[in-house]
Structure 1
Amino acid sequence: MLIAGSVPGMVAAQPAASDTAARSSVAAEIRSAASGKLRDFYGTRGYWPLWSDKGKVRAEPAQALLTLLDSADQDGLRSRDYDARGLLRAIKEADASGDPKALARVDVALSKALAAYVADVRRPSKAVKMRYLDPEVEPQAPDAAEVLRAAAVAPSLASYVEKAGWMSPLYMKLRAASGAYATRWGGLPAVSVPTDVKLRPGGSSGEIAILRHRLGLADGVDYDKALVVKVKLFQADHGLDADGIAGAQTIEALNRGPGHYGRILALNLERARLLPGPWVRHVEVDAASARLYYYSGGELDGSMKVVAGAKESQTPMMAGMIRYATLNPYWNVPPDLVERKIAPKILDGATLRKMRYEALSDWTADAQTLNQSEIDWQAVAAGRRELRVRQLPGGNNAMGKIKFMFPNDLGIYLHDTPDRALFAKPVRHFSNGCVRLEDAQRLGRWFFGKTPTAESDAPEQYVPLPRPVPVYLTYLTVVPTADGVQFLPDDYGRDGE
């Protein structure tokens, strides 16, 4: 790896006229050196240099870029393709000579390297299946000129490059944590621990000796304090109850081996790769951890818990544009719930009116309301007739007061909910695929700049967003923590795909 600070620092400030003259000389040389998309970028800024100032290469942004390029293996790329060491030599030579032509060549070379790296790291993997609903969210090959313009207008070029502002912060945290995980667990022996025993603190046996070896501890047969600490650490990192006891689940996780977890880490990095950077105003929903994040202006504006789909009705991986909100929404009850929950109550003497439901003739926008008495409820309860039933707006409506729509044929959307107890649960996979929001009003204020309020009690009031906002539904079974990463249960069974 390149050593931090290995790019020489800038010299002391020079008179303004001298600074301008130096940069003008470099700009004149860039006019001759830049071509193609790089010329498009530099041309719009009068060929003014991006990476140099006062006759020197700007140390902090250049070092940030070299560090990224030199660690490109963490992105599944080949760091040698970007020749960070060659760039470093060119920087030192240009700084030593102060030659405008050398500085121009370095400036163009750094810009070319940044554009190439961004294009490569933003390229989506074929291993991840994401459904795109709108052309605005379809992955596009980054244009070199646009990549460089985004870097040039960032408040701090060094910070933008260091944080890889074109990537999701979740991706960058996972990227950093994957290296820490490999250091902590990747090099340990891939030996199998016997599965027919439960190993506890205070014990002493040959099986414990194998467990110690698997976790990289000194040879021995005792389940001592050092082993308890290491088992707890492994459990915490792998989504297990950190009790320090090597029970069946812990041993099963150990026996999957370092290679298994390396593959899962790589897969999750590919999933996170599909998310936009924080300079794009957007919403991310991670179904695995049941959390939502929303970004704009290069920052995380907020996050909240959500309830995602159950194993039998999974929240899909998809991306689209949230275009409008619906206030006082209906809830179209899934037909299987009508069969299992509503029809038996009607047969027991309940009424749709008192339960605040209504039955409709079909699923079209022009469906007619049906009288309860004209429906064969025995057939509905037996599954011989599929009936459309919707819950009327109100305090107990499953949609709450508002839902946010990104049109799709699966009927997936983000919505409010009156069922608050589920947000206290550590695992929140209970919905029929839609995403229930912990604080729909807060998200609404972020969308609209004010609290969206219904004009009346009328149902289904549609309010277009001032500007459509991209939403990405993803599935990250590895999440960054303060100390590294934590593997979450693969409730949807997608990690083996």
Structure 2
Amino acid sequence: MLKLTRLALILAAAAAPFPSAASVPGAPDDPYSLPAGGEQGLDMAVVDADAMPQEPEQASDDAAAAMPAEQWSGAPVDLMRPVHPLYTELRRALVRYQLDWGGLPKVFVPDNGPMMALGTTDRRALLLRQRLGLGAPDPLAPTSSPLFDGALEQRLKNFQAAHGLPVDGKAGAATLAALNRGTDYYRQRILLNMERARRLPAPGTANAAKYILVDAAAARLWMYEEGRPVGSMKVVVGTPQSPTPMMAALMRYANVNPFWNIPPDLVQKTVAPNVIAHGVKYLADKRYEVLDTWESDAKVINPATVDWKAVAAGTQELRVRQLPGGANFMGEIKFMLPNHYGIYLHDTPAKALFGQDERHLSNGCVRLEDARRLARWVFGDMPRASSPDAEQRVDLKQPIPVYITYLTAGITPEGRLAFASDTYGRDGQLLARFDPLGPQPSGGGR
């Protein structure tokens, strides 16, 4: 059995309320509350109370503290209560990970020389062999034989595959950093993600019949029915500077041929300087129009009457939107889950971004690889507007829950454990708070 770490104890013993998002040092202002006992970076903010899954069972401080360390196995407190399948898969992966990598020697391999690869005679390869549980090279081999042989290369590839690193069999900086972090670091990351998974709807519970799951760490979306994924696609999510928030909301309607309301910071940094440089013709070329307010009855105003230097300086905020159709940044459709974050799911004409491994590129919203496929799953068919140049709202007959979480350890379709980069630093913040060793590096990613 696994030992009960301080991190696991604190995650299990949630009777004492954790601080709210607004009270966590460095946390962004959050207009929504976290669930009772909620923890920033672990729980989803409550946008719609009706969307929230049944809260996971909690252990009391006394019960958790009295639990024998050798008996804790990462199981939920009540083994009879249903959990999300991902929780079960991660629990199994945690056991496999401990068996495969947990018993290896804690040997530090210095990163003070060239990258080691097949054929190298670098003496650090002896430390690398020890760290990966391999013995010394064949003592009968010629003294000129490389210390980095085929057996070490294969073992290193296995380590890289298990830790979300490029599988090249070379001991570069990222691989050595992962080796030197040790297995406890990765085991704690699995535990964190088990807790995130435990907060998702379990099969047979409320809201589990049909819902959307967005993983902002892996930049991927899943469509779930009756507790099972029935479809998946790549997404583009927020940058580290504009992270996509963890939240539970209800998708209530979609806008076909949507306007794009340009975020005020982009109006200041991009639109205003271009108008100053090229005149109001820039707005016409981009199919932009200026409105007098952010209200639903806002009126279009003449851009020549705007003090664009004030907008560029940030002393005047201005609403600018892009007309529907053409190369509109929202594409053909956007799916609305009303929230104060201004987060929604939408189509995009920038399809090339989905060919990249790193897709933390948006201003916070979720861009869809195949918006039409999601529309067919939501509505049964791709809704059409009465005019290609007019925005049209299409309400859902039944709102669909949308859960945006952050899984830096997950399971591939092939059933393999896969780590994603801690792009938003949420794992690092949690480990720093709960681990007496202090802040941890963000780790390797897919």
Q: How would you bin the TM-score normalised by the shorter chain?
A: 0.7 to 0.9
1:360 is the counterpart of 2:277: no
Partner of 2:51 in structure 1? 137
Match of 2:426, SS?
coil
Deviation at 1:344, TM superposition (A): 2.5
Q: Distance in 2 between matches of 1:299 and 1:456?
A: 37
Match of 1:276, SS?
coil
Aligned residue-pair number: 365
Partner of 1:218 in structure 2? 135
The 8 Å contact of residues 441 and 452 in structure 1, kept in 2 or not, is answered as: no
Match of 2:311, SS?
helix
Partner of 1:425 in structure 2? 356
Task: Describe the shift of the 1:393–1:451 C-alpha distance in structure 2 as closer, same or farther (beyond 3 A).
Answer: same
Partner of 1:35 in structure 2? none
1:245 is the counterpart of 2:174: no
Deviation at 1:238, TM superposition (A): 1.8
Match of 1:393, SS?
coil
Deviations 1:386-442 (A, max 9, x none): 211111111211111111111110100011111111111111111110001111111
Which is greater in Rg? 1
Q: Distance in 1 between matches of 2:90 and 2:197?
A: 8
Q: How does 1:217-236 map to 2 (within 5 A)?
A: 217-220=134-137, 222-236=147-161
Partner of 1:313 in structure 2? 242
The 8 Å contact of residues 256 and 391 in structure 2, kept in 1 or not, is answered as: yes
Task: Describe the shift of the 1:321–1:183 C-alpha distance in structure 2 as closer, same or farther (beyond 3 A).
Answer: same
The 8 Å contact of residues 308 and 435 in structure 1, kept in 2 or not, is answered as: yes
2:267 maps to amino acid: V
Match of 1:496, SS?
helix
Partner of 2:93 in structure 1? 177
Q: Distance in 2 between matches of 1:241 and 1:374?
A: 54
Partner of 2:427 in structure 1? 495
1:472 maps to amino acid: Y
Partner of 1:192 in structure 2? 108
Deviation at 1:356, TM superposition (A): 0.5
Q: Distance in 1 between matches of 2:325 and 2:203?
A: 36
Q: Distance in 1 between matches of 2:243 and 2:273?
A: 26
Deviation at 1:483, TM superposition (A): 5.9
1:313 maps to amino acid: S
Deviations 1:282-341 (A, max 9, x none): 100001111100111343221111111111111110011111111121111112221222
Q: Distance in 2 between matches of 1:223 and 1:232?
A: 13
* 1:208 equivalent among 114, 125, 141: 125
Task: Describe the shift of the 1:343–1:418 C-alpha distance in structure 2 as closer, same or farther (beyond 3 A).
Answer: same
Q: How does 1:439-450 map to 2 (within 5 A)?
A: 439-450=370-381
Deviations 1:220-275 (A, max 9, x none): 48111111011111122222221111111111111111110111110011111111
Task: Describe the shift of the 1:233–1:399 C-alpha distance in structure 2 as closer, same or farther (beyond 3 A).
Answer: same
Percent of aligned pairs sharing the same letter: 51
The 8 Å contact of residues 181 and 484 in structure 1, kept in 2 or not, is answered as: no
Q: Which piece of structure 1 moves more, 173-182 or 400-409?
A: 173-182
* TM norm structure 2: 0.76
Deviations 1:132-167 (A, max 9, x none): 111112343589xxxxxxxxxxxxxxxxxxxx9943
Q: Distance in 2 between matches of 1:142 and 1:369?
A: 49
* TM norm structure 1: 0.68
2:416 maps to amino acid: G
Q: How does 1:71-90 map to 2 (within 5 A)?
A: none
Query: Cα RMSD over matched residues?
Result: 2.8
Q: Distance in 1 between matches of 2:56 and 2:235?
A: 32
Task: Describe the shift of the 1:141–1:257 C-alpha distance in structure 2 as closer, same or farther (beyond 3 A).
Answer: closer
Q: Which runs of 5+ in 2 are unaligned?
A: 10-35, 58-79, 138-145, 430-446
* 1:464 equivalent among 395, 403, 409: 395
Which structure 1 residue ranges, 4+ long, deviate > 4 Å from structure 2?
Answer: 123-127
Q: How does 1:57-72 map to 2 (within 5 A)?
A: none
Partner of 1:452 in structure 2? 383
Q: Distance in 2 between matches of 1:297 and 1:252?
A: 41
Q: Distance in 2 between matches of 1:382 and 1:262?
A: 48
The 8 Å contact of residues 321 and 406 in structure 1, kept in 2 or not, is answered as: yes
Q: Distance in 2 between matches of 1:250 and 1:142?
A: 36
1:386 is the counterpart of 2:313: no
1:485 maps to amino acid: L
Deviations 1:96-133 (A, max 9, x none): xxxxxxxxxxxxxxxxxxxxxxxxxxx98747232011
The 8 Å contact of residues 255 and 336 in structure 2, kept in 1 or not, is answered as: yes
